[in-house]
Each structure stands twice: as C-alpha cells, then as structure tokens.
Structure 1
C-alpha cells in the first residue's frame, strides 16, 4: 500500500518504456535507467537522447494536457541544461528526479483557479518535485525535514448497514463503490455516512482520484489548485439540472485526519477512508497513473470516459462527456501557409503525423529540421504522408514564427480545446512528440521522433509495430506485458543473425496468437533483442543482475562467460524477471525460446524480484534522485 501511494504521489515512471498505459513504475528500474542515460549522454558529449532524455531527467508521469505539456517540457529542458553543465560530483543538490503527476488543462481559463503562477509557467502543470533532503544548500549534508502536519480524527456519523435493503446493496454503484459513502455535513461539523444507492441512483458520476498532499505540492510549486476548477464545473452542471455527482477517491494511504480535513472543502461524496481495499482496487482497475484524474461513469456505473478530468474542465457544455474520436478532436479545418485546408482533404491521407512541438523548446528546434528532411524524403518516395503541427507555444506570434519553418499543416492556434484533448488522448508527456496515425486514424506509433532519427530515409516508414525489435530501436509496450529480451551483445555477427531468426519465428507465432486473445492472455509477450551495448541494454542488464559489457570485452577471454547470450523474461509491472543460464553453445536455439515461454504460460517458470542496487550504488541514486528510491 505504501509503495502504491508513493508511486502515485511522486509520479515516478518507468523511463525507457512506452509512456502510454504503463503500469505503476518500479523505482529500481527508473533509477537504473536514469543512471545509464546520464552515462550515455556524457559519453556522447551532448544531449544524446534529446526529447527522450527529458522524461529521464524529470521522470514525470504526466497526462500532459494543453499547457501542462508546455511547462513540463520547459522545466525539464532547464533542468537538463543545469545537469549537463554541473560536474557529476556536485549533482546531489540538483532537484529531485521525481515529480507529482498532474493532468490539468491550463489552457482553460475557467479550469484551475486559486493559485498564483509565473506567467511563463502554465497553471495546473506537472513539474519538478521539491529538492530531496540532501540537496539543501549543495553541501551534501541533510537538510532539516519539515515535520509532517498531524490532523485530528473526528467521529463519523455512521450508517447502520444492516438496515440497507437488498436493492440498495445490489445497486450497480454499491457494487462499484461499496454500500455507503461519506459527505461533510457543515451543520453537524462531521462526516456523515449515506447509502450509495440513495445518492447516486440515476446519476452520471465523476470518480475523482486525488490527494490533499498532491494539491498542496502543486500549490507550493505555483501550479495552481485543482479543487476550485472542479467545484465550478460541479456547481454549473447541477445548476443546469444535470443528474451529475462527484465521488472523491482518496489516495489509499495517509492520515484519516487529513482525509477528513480535505473533505470539508468538497461539496460532494467520497468513498470512506477505511475502505482501503476498495480504493486500492479502483486505482488499479482504472489504471490511475496520474493525480488528479477522473473517470466518468453512467447511471449503471459503466465507464463513459476514462479521461474525464480533461473533458470536464475544457468542455463544460459536453455533459455527460462521451469520449471523442481523434478525427472529431482534430476538427474541420487546418492551416497551411496561405489558406485554410478542409479536414476532408487531410482525411484522404493514409498516414497523418501529429507533431507536438514549441518554439521555445530547444530539443524541438533541433529536431524540426530533421523532421522536415524526413518528411520531404518520404513524400518524394511517393508515400502518402501529411504532418499537422500541434503548437505548445505561449503566444500566437511565437506560433507563427515557428510554423513559418515548417512545410506542412497546423491546427489553428486558437483551437485550445483540440490541443488539450489531443495531448490527453495521446498521452503526450514531453516535447517534441511525433504520433503517427493510420488511414482509420488509429495510432501506429507514438515514437515517431525516435523512428525519424533512426530511419531518416524513411525506409521502414510508417514504422508499424514489429513482432521483434532491437531494444534500442523500439521499446514500445515493454511495460504493458511480460517481455522476452535476448542479450547477445557479445556474440559474433553470424551467431547474432541466427539468434535473431530464431526469435523472429517465435515472435511472429505469438503475435499471431495475440490478435485474437484477450489482453490478459498468458501467452501475450513482447519480444526484443540487444545486439549492441546501449543505454537500454545496460539498464535492463542491471535490473536482471547481469554483468555489464564494454565493447572491448568481446576480445577478452576473461569475459567469455559474460559474452554468452542470455534470455531474460521481464515482468516490469510485477518487478520480477527470469534469467536463463548462459548458453555454452554461443547461441540460443528456437526450441530454448519456446520452452522458456511455455513454462511461463504454464506458470512453472521461476521468477525473481528485480535486483536492488548495491549499497554504494543505492547511495549515489538516493543523493542524485531524491525520492526516486522507495
């Protein structure tokens, strides 16, 4: 429970994994990747992974909505510059690598209110967390910790559950949230329990996931409070006569007194503080990765919109906030340099790339010329591609200045709702981001930027997901389900070719099975191989407990054992892995791969927890990353 709360509160993500639908992230992997990414950058003498490095540095779990993405990327860039220019031994006083996850649309003036903000920093943003306890003044000595505020626990006016009817107990909302809820009664000055069925029957309800600790941290970081905006939406919907209610789903941890104090500022209901298991199950069932978040459910307690928080704040006339398709979000008109372009013209394009970028963003400025080159080369090959710029610029003047450098289309700058919804729907967490959509406007990949850099000629365009990927080329989905990784960095070219062929055959077979299988099927796997030493292979080797390799190791007899290929099955969501024995034959056969996967499907494959850092490594991580280690 403590771990769950810390992951949510700090917004720690699994860096080097797909950012959409990842599970709550094991800090062991986050720290390990961040260490190797830093090493990689120093070896490469530059920003190295560019936009990807922004996520590594800040580690933000951001459902970046509108300006939230702007501020996230801006602060990440500034911190990145500070990190690169600061000697490694002095970095313990840099801000923590962990953040609070927020998903608040700062483009909407009527959204988040109540917090003062820097005009250059959008309200309702995810930003860097307060410095770790060791950063204080850069001396390396521990700063004095502020004592945690203690809240009094008041008695609750309880409801006698034995008097509830079967209808009340079996009501869809009662099954989802429990038979009773609580609400603050200002007349009694206490929380009062009520029957869930009585107060939610026939209503559309927003399940509001949040925590007072997060609200306070957002306020400290001048990101603005969340509650005022939601309270405004709540009041407006009820004034219109809409059957609308909100239920607060508190972070399943912390002080009961804090929960009670927070409820005094809420005009709606909440799942009781002591319903810990139900709250925990709800956070998992709805895959809550960021705070605040909201899931809108209908009168029968069925999900209407999993990303309701953004919709409620930016589309107040859209009750009950049915989710929109990407085509609907994109609107009816685009801009070119000299005219408005009807959406019907763009709809004919087989591949549409959405380019989330901003004039002020240095990695964006560096990537845009490369994207222009790739765009022109792909189109010169007769491939049907259009790019649409989704601006995160602060002013229309800056937008026009930046757009003038681009040969493609753009969303109208004033269409802030579209920008917010697109960033939310596509879970854009940093800039620049390039998302490719197919003819049906389904996502091909959200890693378009990486593919442009690795395949600038567009030979593999439009970069559809492959059954088997080299880990440094694409790591899409590695956090979604168990992933089989073949480490063969030390093998000869001939041996590598044979092993890739074996992995390819198995990967294609299992991928074909997956098309018709449910999401939780036991035979769902991702397949990767590490052909060369890279940041990614180093991070994965570290958590699996494998010895690190250096390029020169291929020629050392003393490293012969380390150079042998190894199969590792990673289950990142559960923080466990299986490491196969070193292959004495110097290669991995197809039968070996199948036997390992079959054992996993049958539940007989032994799994071990991720390797924890050694004491000296843990100390370094703690000082450099603060709250990143739980």
Structure 2
C-alpha cells in the first residue's frame, strides 16, 4: 500500500503549515486515504471544506482517529488563492507545482480505459473516444496523451475545450460521458460503468435504475439525493433488496427519460464492507439492516425510514414523500 500511495501522490506532501511530510506512512496500519479534489474559486468547495473540516476534527478525536487521512488535490492555477484556501485545511495536500502531473483517478481510469477501448474495437463496435484535456500546459498534455490510443481535441483549441466543458456541465475530473450517434448522453457515469464492467458485457452502459453501491460508483452520492437500502453482506440478500426498490426506481427513471431529464433520485443497495461502514459513520446511521434511507449530501441531510419490514409499497411511499418535500430531514 505504501508503494501505491507514493506512486499516486509522490514521496512528499505538505501539511497545513506547508511543511513537507513523507507520504509513505499513509499506506500503513490499514489507514484510509480520502482524496479531496477542489478549488478555491468554487463556492460549493468552500462550503464542503468547512463541513469536512468539522467532520475531520471530530473523527480525529475518536478512537479511530489515526485510521483516516485526507489529501487535498487542487485545480487552482494561481498560487495566492491556493495558499489562502489551503490555510483553512487541517489535513495534507499535494504541492501546487505537482498538480498538473498528478491526478490519481485520471491515471487509474486511463489504464483501464485503454484496455476497454481495445476490447470494444475487437468486438467490432462503432465506438470512439475523444480526450478533452484539463492539463495546465501543452507539455503535460502531450505527455499524458501519449499514453492514449484514441483522439483528442487539440490542446491549442482552448475555446472548443471550454465550450465542451460548458455544454456538458463538467464539474470535475475525470469525467467520462457516453454519447449516442445523435450526440445525446447515454450516461454521465462512464467512469464507474467502465471500472465495474472490465469485460465490456454491458456496453454502451445504459444507466441501471438500481445499482449495488461500490467504491467506484459511491461518488454518485454527491451528485444528487440517493436512496440507499442497507442490507446484510450475504450475496443472496442483494437481489431481493433490489426487487424491493426496482418498481419505483424504474418508474422514476422512465418518467424523466421521456422528458429528457436526469432522475431526481438515484437508487442503491449497500452491503457490509469498509466503504459502507465509513458511509454509515459519516452520516451517523445506525448499524441495523435492512435500513432504508435517503441521503442528500449536498444539503447535508438524511431521511431514515424506521420500519420492521420493508416492502415495495413502503419504498414508494417513502420516495414520494421525499419528492413532495413531506419528510423532515435530519442533519448529517
């Protein structure tokens, strides 16, 4: 783990006083490492930073305080606003001069995507990838693009790159959009789709109404409110749990697809693993299962349905009450 951390983040990071620290200890003793991607000019980042700092301080004071570290990776281009922003952070950070060559999720996705691209081409599918760079220099772009077998928008065409980011409302990287032949979005979740389908059996990855919550798709919880049904970890528990929420999930997806809109709610089934345990801890949820919840991370709110038995009718009633704003939120 230490070698992987050093490979992704480099051998040295900075602390809140901007003093150099070694990154290798992050991979020891079963620690979890949270990579926080953000920037100083985003109001939502500033709001989230304050919330994360509060959680971080409380967590560090607990019995497992040494089991988590946060590393901030900025998309700022200027030193002064970056310096002022990181001054508010109690965790570690990647030095600004290292940012343009360090985007661990980008590198990880690219390695998988190269193999995915090869497999889809061998399947005879009509498919192409176009890389839209967020690199800060043409030299960095050329070095990174050299690893890719597909096409790219020229780095010098900044207007086109900016227009694409604007048109598709790109909020962060890496983002992998899948478009159909008419240019309509098949899915915005190309990244978790690719990572969860190494054999490309589900290409072109049309969105599923109900997903199993995994490390690769958990970031979707931050995009919009999400219904999460927590169940026991046994494999046989997942399919019955999916059937409980499938009817209302399909109904909502169909209604909004007809309007060419994104659904207002995502649907997940979560088992028992380290990631799910961390999610329960972060949202202050009980350890009981099954447990029916709606998590709204952007509003730092949760909704919990405390019933002895969960049925499709109860799930639909719970969802409709949320969508019509009849539920009282609890703070996360």
Same fold (TM over 0.5): yes
2:280 corresponds to: 541
CA distance 1:576–1:418, shift in 2 (3 Å) = same
In the alignment, does 2:101 pair up with 1:360?
yes
Quote how far apart the aligned CAs of 1:434 are: 2.6
Q: What is the 5 A alignment of 1:166-245?
A: none
Residue of 73, 77, 87 corresponding to 1:131 = 87
1:589 corresponds to: 311
Take 1:463 and 1:411, find their aligned partners in 2: how far apart are those partners?
Answer: 24
User: Are the equivalent residues in 2 in contact too, given 1:387–1:409 (CA < 8 A)?
Assistant: yes
Cα deviations by residue, 1:449-500 (Å, 9 ceiling, x for unpaired): 3332222221222222221122325357645654321011x25433332121
Q: What is the 5 A alignment of 1:522-601?
A: 524-535=264-275, 537-548=276-287, 562=288, 564-581=289-306, 583=308, 588-600=310-322
2:133 corresponds to: 391
Cα deviations by residue, 1:245-274 (Å, 9 ceiling, x for unpaired): xxxxxxxxxxxxxxxxxxxxxxxxxxxxxx
1:408 corresponds to: 150
1:457 corresponds to: 199
Residue aligned with 2:183, SS: coil
Take 2:199 and 2:247, find their aligned partners in 1: how far apart are those partners?
Answer: 27
Quote how far apart the aligned CAs of 1:428 are: 3.9
Quote how far apart the aligned CAs of 1:577 are: 2.4
Quote how far apart the aligned CAs of 1:395 are: 4.8
Quote how far apart the aligned CAs of 1:368 are: 2.7
Residue of 580, 602, 610 corresponding to 2:331 = 610
Quote how far apart the aligned CAs of 1:596 are: 2.2
Take 2:37 and 2:267, find their aligned partners in 1: how far apart are those partners?
Answer: 28
Take 1:42 and 1:439, find their aligned partners in 2: how far apart are those partners?
Answer: 47
2:230 corresponds to: 487
- Relative contact order, higher structure (CA 8 A, sep 6+): 1
1:381 corresponds to: 123
Unpaired runs of 5+ residues, structure 1, are 1-39, 48-52, 64-87, 103-120, 136-220, 223-357, 549-561, 612-630
2:179 corresponds to: 437
CA distance 1:577–1:376, shift in 2 (3 Å) = same
Take 1:123 and 1:454, find their aligned partners in 2: how far apart are those partners?
Answer: 37
Cα deviations by residue, 1:163-182 (Å, 9 ceiling, x for unpaired): xxxxxxxxxxxxxxxxxxxx
CA distance 1:465–1:500, shift in 2 (3 Å) = same
User: Are the equivalent residues in 2 in contact too, given 1:485–1:570 (CA < 8 A)?
Assistant: yes
Take 1:514 and 1:381, find their aligned partners in 2: how far apart are those partners?
Answer: 32
CA distance 1:571–1:386, shift in 2 (3 Å) = same
In the alignment, does 2:54 pair up with 1:57?
no
| RMSD between superposed Cα atoms in Å | 4.3
Cα deviations by residue, 1:403-461 (Å, 9 ceiling, x for unpaired): 34322112223212212332344344544433322222233334433332222221222
In the alignment, does 2:211 pair up with 1:469?
yes
User: Are the equivalent residues in 1 in contact too, given 2:186–2:207 (CA < 8 A)?
Assistant: yes
User: Are the equivalent residues in 1 in contact too, given 2:241–2:269 (CA < 8 A)?
Assistant: no
Unpaired runs of 5+ residues, structure 2, are 1-25, 43-64
- Higher-Rg structure is 1
Take 1:518 and 1:441, find their aligned partners in 2: how far apart are those partners?
Answer: 13
Quote how far apart the aligned CAs of 1:61 are: 7.4
1:619 corresponds to: none
CA distance 1:486–1:124, shift in 2 (3 Å) = same
1:118 corresponds to: none
Q: What is the 5 A alignment of 1:268-279?
A: none
What TM-score, normalized by structure 2, do the two folds share? 0.65
CA distance 1:525–1:43, shift in 2 (3 Å) = farther
Take 2:140 and 2:224, find their aligned partners in 1: how far apart are those partners?
Answer: 41
Take 1:596 and 1:437, find their aligned partners in 2: how far apart are those partners?
Answer: 33
What TM-score, normalized by structure 1, do the two folds share? 0.37
Take 1:390 and 1:464, find their aligned partners in 2: how far apart are those partners?
Answer: 22
For these two proteins, the number of residue pairs brought into alignment is 279
